[in-house]
A and B are shown apart, each in its own frame.
Chain A
Amino acid sequence: MKVLRKMSLLELKLFAREPVTVLFTLALPLLVLYVLGGVFNQPAEPGVFRGVSGPNYYLPAYIGLVAASIGLIALPVHIAGYRERGVLRRYRASAVPSISIFGAQVLVAFVAASLSALVLIGAATASWDISAPRSLPGVLGAFVISVLCFAAIGFLLGAVLPSPRAAQGVGVLLWFVMFMISGSGPPPEVLPGSLNAVGNATPLKHVIVLIQDPWLGFG
């Protein structure tokens, strides 16, 4: 427990000391939010965007997208880097419990995702008419599940991919494909049915619906 606490604190400090990572975590979702939120800034209309306005549709979707970018890109690159450079060997040789290594990463993933989500919510609320979540506990629960789900995928990718470069390539590819076809990029309504069928099978699609439903009062 003491080791887990120390390791978590350390990993948080290491995260804060990487300006590029912090910037990426905070700026990328904002960029996407403003581009797509601006393009699809249309009022609520039945049959499009699940019947809500563009920004109201995209905000919860981007919170899911943030969880995906952490799980698909940041986490695997970090883990593969630790393995390639011998950090994991160093920890293992000194019997650092695996639970503290993974626990600390999950904690950092939560902190990074929460920061991004707060920035997104703040920016979106300032720019558009955003409705408050219908069920806050529902949204919070969905957020926790989303981050855990993508963190698990991240550990898997980090364990399987041989190097940080490979992890970066595969991660960005997966993230981008999911971004495009899972309802967080172009509206699902404009995509052909076959792409939507594939999109429905991605974890990001499920995470987005999981966060949107309690926020927008569906399900």
Chain B
Amino acid sequence: MKYLYLIFSNLKRKKLRTGLTLLSIMVAFLLFGYLAAIRQAFEAGVEVAGADRLIVRHKVSIIRLLPQSYEARIERIDGVDNAMASTWFGGIYQEPKNFFAQIPVVPEELFDMYPEYVVSDEGKAAWLATRTGALVGRGTMERFGWKLGDRIPINATIWGKKDGGQTWEFDIAAIYDGAEKGTDTSQFFFRYDYFDETRANGQGLVGWYTVRVANPDKAAEVASAIDAEFANSPEETKSEPEGAFIQGFANQIGNIAFIIVSIMSAVFFTILLVAGNTMAYTVRERTNELAVLKAIGFTDRGVLGLVLGESLALTLVGGVLGLGLAMLLVSMGDPTDGSFPVFYLPTRSLLLGLVLIVAMAFIAGILPALQAQRLQIADALRR
């Protein structure tokens, strides 16, 4: 208790300096939190990817299509529970910057394959009853202010219509929510039967398959079995776990994790200098006082603890404020105006932030603290 009081009074004596140091630490952790959310957005999906799901695509190129007949052949392979076909529609809503994924699927297959997309029973029934119906994620609904029953025109870039038109119209039949915080609620699903009948060409061809395996431990074997099934055919496949597929995709954008870690290192190094410098300064300034404390019976260790405690108090308050502010800022929405499928601050990063706070307090405080510990009373009092 007496230590807490001492620490507090010491921090109070130069309010301006304490305040400024606090603010710079706060900024560092604000940036830490914000960048963690950005990284999460770029690597969205890797964590929530189903361990029991595989993605099967054309071996030569992601843009090459696979026959729809592969679905039945995949499902006959040992260890495969279910397979679902998807295709990249790549349409544009109003203008290109309003990007979100549109994917034609068979509704029942989607409900079975992705239980994390939560749809009400009425929603399911409504979608099944509407041939031009779409199932839209909550995120995209809110982003454009859509309501159930709205008719949404989407301009096709890849899939022209049989009648020569490029504009497809969909009726929003149902909304899905994410079962977890990291679930992507930006997607727009519509019915494969409508898609296949309406598109000008490519009938019976699909983009890729999502396959659920009965036993996740056997996922790698099942993946090889699927690729072997289609080996030496005109359309060979490449199968990999859903997580690896998504990670591979994120890697194409760039090594986001590396860039963000580099930036954070620069930021922390900088702030460490500022905080460490402040701590060093306060100890130098108080050499006399610390000597008096020792003279009246504070142990060397006690003085060490006092300085470290001061450093910890400063960093803790600044750091927690910064993380809190980051949470607030992140909850206000993403900086790209909705292009990120998810944008939130993961709990894991918050915990890491707390660990960093303690580590930073220690590193910034340890040198001045050791200096204080080693103070010789007689020398110091004479200064």
Q: Do A and B bind each other?
A: no
